[in-house]
Amino acid sequence: MPAKSKAQQKAAGAALSAKRGDTPRAKLKGASKEMAQSMSEAELEALAAGSTKGKPEHVG
């Protein structure tokens, strides 16, 4: 399932980084913190992958 916005993709990337241990979980905020707790690494990879070209910054 690809991300619908650039913001969602960035949050998934941050959560994936924390899940892999590259960044501390304490640095996560908001959506990325929730994603790291509730989603698997494979789900986060699928959400963070792909191009940001043509995606809106935020979806309402």
- Each residue of 2-27: pLDDT tens digit? 889 999 999 999 999 999 999 999 99
- CA atoms of 23 and 58, how far apart (whole Å): 24
What confidence score (pLDDT) does residue 50 get? 87
Residue 43 in domain: yes
Identify the pLDDT of residue 2. 83
- Domain membership of residue 57 (yes or no) is no
Domain extent for 25: 6-48
Tell me the two tokens of residue 60.
């309402």
Q: What is the total count of domains within the chain?
A: 1
Tens digit of each residue's pLDDT (9 = 90 or more) over 24-60? 999 999 999 999 999 999 999 999 998 989 999 998 7
pTM of the model: 0.88
27 within domain boundaries: yes
Distance from C-alpha of 11 to C-alpha of 8, rounded to nearest angstrom: 5
Residue 54 included in any domain = no
